Amino acid sequence: MLLLNIEEKNHGQNFQLKDINVEINPGEITLLLGHNGAGKTTIIKSMFGLMDYAGSLSINGQAVDMNQSNHIDYLKQHVAYISDGIGLFEYLTPREYFSLIEKTFPAKVNLNLLEKFIEIFELEQYLDLPIDQLSHGNKKKTQIVSQLFRESDYVVFDEPTNGLDPDMVIVLKKTLSLLKERGKGIMLSTHHLNFGEDLYDHLIILRNGDKKLNDSKTNIYHRLGPMNVEQIYQSVNQDYYQHVEEVINELYN
């Protein structure tokens, strides 16, 4: 299990995250929802040590200290990070980049999986083009495939659907279901309500850094009844939507 506990994280003068617990279990998908600026990326960057915070991180029971090389190594070996920005060497071709990842994690890659992902994400025709010449969507697909063929225990995805066409969003959903079946723990951070609808096992909803909901699918069902993600989201953000409704009504009148 991957467990992140953010006791306190201040970002700028007006933003604060407090008492946020993120849990990613093997074979489960945790869905992190929130508006722009809610704190999703801050949580993910804190998890990977890219931002300082007060709190702790543990992976499979081992505490991770970001000041120790072997701990950083442990984190990177066990958790794949697919950032919102395109974190690739864009002067390489996708073929070269996949080979680079293969050589970086020699004992932890599945080349059969790579071959299949290249096929279903339709990257064959772009394998020998420098990445900077690819469209944003194809860059994103290269980034996704480069991390998914690694045999990591966990995958953390920041805004997975950004730049993907409808075909690829469907392919990605199916791929994530497969990876979940194979026992990977996955976290999806998104502001698209429908993407994680059929996938999630655990839901976290944030608003302006505040945790509005952090519970399992079963518990949410017991508490709120049969609701889809959009309804759950609206229900936990009632105050905000009430205000929006009032403003809209004013405009009508």
Partner 1 sequence: MNSTIEVIRRVELPKHTKNMKRLFFRYPLPMLTGSLSALLLYTLFFTIVVRYLTSFPLNVGDTVHAAAILSLLFTCFLIIFSRGKLGDHNVVGLFFNSHVKAHQLIIASYFPLYVFFQVLFFLTYSPVLVAFYLQGNAVVLYLLLLFICLTIVFLFSLSTWMVSTRICYKLINKYHDNFYLHAILFLTLLWLTFFALRELSSMSGSSFLLGAGLVLITALSLVSMLKLSTGFLMQLFKSSQNSIASKETKSYTLPQKRPMIHAALDALYYYRFGLLRELVFTFLVLIIVTFAFHLMFDATTFVYLYSFILNIGVKEIMIIAPLYIGMHYREHHLAFYNLNDRALTFLLPRLGMALGINVAIHLTFVLINYIALNQNFAFGLNAVASILFVTLVSVWVGFNFVINERNKAAALIGTLIFVGLLEFVLGNYLSTESHLTIFYALMSVVFLMVIKLFYVRKPIIK
Residues in contact with partner 1 by CB under 8 A are 48-50, 66-67, 69-70, 72-73, 75-77, 81, 83, 85, 87-89, 91-93, 95-96, 99-101, 103-105, 126-130, 132-134, 146-147
The nearer residue to partner 1, 72 or 227, going by C-beta atoms, is 72
Task: Name the residue nearer to partner 1 (CB basis): 66 or 244.
Answer: 66
The smaller minimum CB distance to partner 1, of residues 147 and 189, is found at 147
Neighbours of 53 (CB within 10 A): 22
Name the burial class of residue 152, with classes exposed (0-12), middle (13-18) and buried (19+) by CB atoms within 10 angstroms of its CB.
buried
Contact by Cβ (8 Å): 186, 155 = yes
Cβ distance to partner 1 smaller for residue 150 or 212: 150
**Nearest partner of 211 among 11, 10, 22, judged by Cα:** 22
Please, which residue, 101 or 224, has the CB nearer to partner 1? 101
DSSP notation for 71-136: HHHHHHHHEEEE-SS--S-TTS-HHHHHHHHHHHSGGGB-HHHHHHHHHHTT-GGGTTS-GGGS-H
CB of 76 to partner 1, least distance (A): 4
User: In the bound complex, what is the minimum distance in angstroms from residue 226's beta carbon to partner 1?
Assistant: 40
Contact 88, 143 (CB under 8 A): yes
- Smallest distance, partner 1 to C-beta of residue 170, A: 25
> CA 220 to CA 127: how far, in whole Å?
44
Q: How far is the CB of 152 from partner 1 (least distance, A)?
A: 11
- Closest to partner 1 by CB, 104 or 228: 104
Q: What are the tokens at 226?
A: 């049969």
Give φ, ψ of 120 to 5 degrees: -75, -25
Smaller CB separation from partner 1, 33 or 80 = 80
Question: Among residues 151, 138, 67, which one has the least CA distance to residue 110?
Answer: 151
- DSSP symbol at 150: B
- State the nearest-atom distance from the C-beta of 22 to partner 1, in Å: 18
Give the nearest distance from C-beta 100 to partner 1 in angstroms: 6
The least distance separating partner 1 from the CB of residue 27, rounded to whole angstroms, comes to 24
Secondary structure (3-state) at 34: strand
